[in-house]
Amino acid sequence: MTDTSPKKLRSAAWFGSADKNGFMYRSWMKNQGIPDHEFDGRPVIGICNTWSELTPCNAHFRKIAEHVKRGIYEAGGFPVEFPVFSNGESNLRPTAMLTRNLASMDVEEAIRGNPIDGVVLLTGCDKTTPALLMGAASCDVPAIVVTGGPMLNGKLDGKDIGSGTAVWRLHESLKAGEIDVHQFLSAEAGMSRSAGTCNTMGTASTMACMAEALGTSLPHNAAIPAVDARRYVLAHMSGMRAVEMVREGLTLSKVLTREAFENAIRVNAAIGGSTNAVIHLKAIAGRIGVPLELEDWTRIGRGTPTLVDLQPSGRFLMEEFYYAGGLPAVLRRLGEHGLLPHPDALTVNGRSLWDNVREAPSYNDEVIRPLDKPLIADGGICILRGNLSPRGAVLKPSAASPELLKHRGRAVVFENLEHYKERIVDENLDVDANSVLVMKHCGPKGYPGMAEVGNMGLPPKLLRQGIKDMVRISDARMSGTAYGTVVLHVAPEAADGGPLAAVRDGDWIELDCEAGRLHLDISDAELAERLRAVAATIAPQRGGYQRLYVEHVLQADEGCDFDFLVGCRGADVPRHSH
Ligand code: FES
Ligand code: MG
């Protein structure tokens, strides 16, 4: 546990001595124009910035950092902004997930190796939130999350359109022949018309809500639009709070408890959150030493009504969510009905989750539904096990077609993404609306990086017949902005010897969400025989980081962290550098 006495601040080991080392640590910092008195032992607060022009969702973060700095100064702290690897979902190939762990290592080592007493984590685009929380959790320093905030509602032809979700829908319309390519491309600028993250309840908004539900951010952090002045007030207040947290010794492990994760799982169901949260929460929990299992999602999440009517499950976008009361309004509704598992969980402002929200107003029952008029009565994430997914798979019922949640169909198999792309457009492909599309080798090791390709587009010939959804199964993830009856995260993955590798065209597959079952209808002996015949295909090894990744990444049920990164290594001050 961190010693809270001011004399023992980590930064004192750099700046607090009158010897040669103290001289060196201070002198070089002074080249930035920092006056003597800032080295007087006040808390040094790192501002961990994922700003990058290649991460458009985080491209406004230098301005946010300025407001965080104002707050740190006001509270008597010494702000030091530093960059870390920025995971931009839209540009990074083969997937931003490949480098989530890399970013987390960057964060962890930057915190531990530097004169930092507490840290403000500037997060936005999907992977930046888990990456920064994972890295900070492995150090267990005082830490507070400031999210960049969602984009304003997208606009097309006078109507609202949502980030990502609109792309999937418009692309299906294009393939179905309902719109032409000019109409399709005309949506680009209007969909992303302000700074910020995806404005749907995609993974960025979900993880921002998770950070708030976990207690790692101030109330309202998740929903204030990126360009709203109140976003900058929140950044200012978070900077102030970070200084106080150092003085109070309020480290992450006091906030990120088992209780906090249980609250977050419940909240994920209430907001209709992304399936990616299953992986990211597990990875964060692993770093702080909190046990979390897939079945926790069934036990705590399933049965929870989805109250938030946001795309992709519902109608609205993050702007309306904020104006309707944001996450505090959701937390209050849950708490008033006894659905907040641990209202007393501590948050970064030093108050309990319930104290923060007990009087939170709600302004719009269409956006944040009352308990008796939920968007989905039985929300949450469905965990599926069976001979096809012995270590689990997930499906998001709120984004699926109810009539497909129990389904038996014949497999149409794609060996990888390229095989899918080549085959799906074949007008002679033996497929109908009852078929089950199965894609292999898109998991953590197989892709590598477990890309968001699980929501395979339907065969154009079926789209033209008006078919809107089919059961799809893979070891991939899918974008939190996507929808459909899509089974994801099949573990173990095909490239790790999982049974998915054994599926062949024409096999019968049974999906039963109610029963939590995913079954390949062949005998155990046949399955074992086929698996022996299949040589697990791992993507060509390139060396470099990809090699490290494939050799050490854990499967989806374990959060896709690296085996050697799981756990908290603390923030003991390392040896001197000179
Ligand atoms: Fe960055 Fe969606 S692509 S938040
Ligand atoms: Mg994504």
ipTM field = 0.93
Q: Ligand 1 centroid to 479 CA: how many Å?
A: 9
Beta strands at 44-49 and 436-439: parallel, antiparallel or unpaired: unpaired
Nearest to 245 by CA among 335, 121, 108: 121
Indicate which ligand has the atom closest to the C-alpha of 274: 2
Q: 419: which residues sit within 8 A by CB, 6+ positions away?
A: none
- Closest C-alpha among 130, 144, 108 to residue 279: 130
Cβ atoms 115, 156 nearer than 8 A: no
Q: Report the C-alpha gap between 391 and 532 in whole angstroms.
A: 19
Cα separation, 265 vs 544, whole angstroms:
35
Distance CA 208, CA 225 (A): 12
The ligand 1 atom at the shortest distance from the C-alpha of residue 90 is: 3
* DSSP reduced 3-state for 552: helix
The DSSP line for 490-506 is -SS-GGGT-GGGG--TT
| Helix-helix angle 276-288:128-139, to 10 degrees | 10
Helix (H) and strand (E) counts in the chain: 21, 14
> Both tokens of residue 103?
């970013």
Across-strand partners of 352? Answer: 346
State residue 537's pLDDT score.
60
Cα–chain center distance at 122: 14
For residue 197, give the ligand nearest its CA: 1
**Nearest ligand to the C-alpha atom of residue 86:** 1
Exposure letters 100-116 (e unless 16+ CB within 10 A, then b): bbbbbbbbbebbbebbb
- Measured CA to CA in angstroms, residue 98 lies from 55, 202, 450, 504 at distances of 15, 19, 7, 28
CA 311 and chain centroid, separation:
16
Divide the 578 residues of the chain into consecutive groups of 10 and give the mean pLDDT of each group: 58 97 97 97 98 98 98 98 97 97 98 98 98 98 98 96 94 92 93 97 97 98 98 98 98 98 98 97 98 97 96 96 98 98 98 98 98 94 97 94 97 97 97 98 96 96 95 96 95 96 98 97 96 73 91 98 98 94
- With a 6 Å cutoff on the Cβ, whether 480 touches ligand 1 is no
- 375: CB partners within 8 A, 6+ apart: 272, 305, 306, 307, 308, 309, 313, 314, 369, 398
- In this prediction, residue 542 carries a pLDDT of 80
- Token pair 């830490």 is found at 143
- CB-ligand 1 contact for 191 (6 Å cutoff): no
Q: Is the CB of 301 under 6 A from ligand 1?
A: no
- Among all bound ligands, the one having the nearest atom to the CA of 204 is 1
Distance CA 488, CA 224 (A): 30
| Cα–ligand 1 centroid distance for 502 (angstroms) | 34
User: What pLDDT does 481 receive?
Assistant: 87
Stretch (H or E) spanning 531: helix 524-533
Q: Determine the Cα–Cα distance for residues 261 and 495; give it in Å rounded to an integer.
A: 30
Rounded to an integer, what distance in angstroms lies between the CA atom of residue 110 and that of residue 506? 52
Q: Which ligand is nearest to the CA of 91?
A: 1
* Separation of CA 156 and ligand 2 centre (Å): 22
204 lines ligand 1 (CB under 6 A): yes
Ligand 1 atom with the smallest distance to the CA of 126 is 4
**Looking at ligand 1, which atom is closest to the CA of residue 197?**
4
Task: Give yes or no for residue 198 CB within 6 A of ligand 1.
Answer: yes
Q: Please give the distance, rounded to the nearest whole angstrom, from the Cα atom of residue 379 to the centre of ligand 1.
A: 24
Question: Which atom of ligand 1 is nearest the CA belonging to 205?
Answer: 4
Residue 336 half-sphere exposure toward CB, CA atoms < 13 A: 15
Q: How far is the CA of 449 from the centre of ligand 2 (A)?
A: 12
Verify whether ligand 1 is closer than 6 Å to residue 126 (CB atom): yes
Q: Is 202 in the pocket of ligand 1 (CB under 6 A)?
A: yes
Q: Which of 241, 143, 162, 242 has its CA nearest to residue 205?
A: 162
Whether 554 lines ligand 1, by a CB cut-off of 6 Å, is no
pLDDT at res. 398 = 87
* Distance in Å, CA 145 to ligand 2 centroid: 19
- Give the model's pLDDT for residue 540: 66
Quick one: pLDDT at residue 4? 43
- 197 Cβ below 6 A of ligand 1: yes
Calculate Rg over the CA atoms of the chain: 24
DSSP 42: P
Token digits of residue 90: 């839209």
Ligand 2 centroid to residue 480 C-alpha, Å: 6
- Using CA positions, which residue lies closest to atom 1 of ligand 1? 125
Q: Is the CB of 318 under 6 A from ligand 1?
A: no
From residue 153, alpha-carbon distances to 60, 173, 339, 478 in Å are 17, 21, 30, 22
Ligand 1 atom at minimum distance from 163 CA: 2
Annotate 222-231 with b (16+ C-beta within 10 A) or e (fewer).
bbbbbebeeb
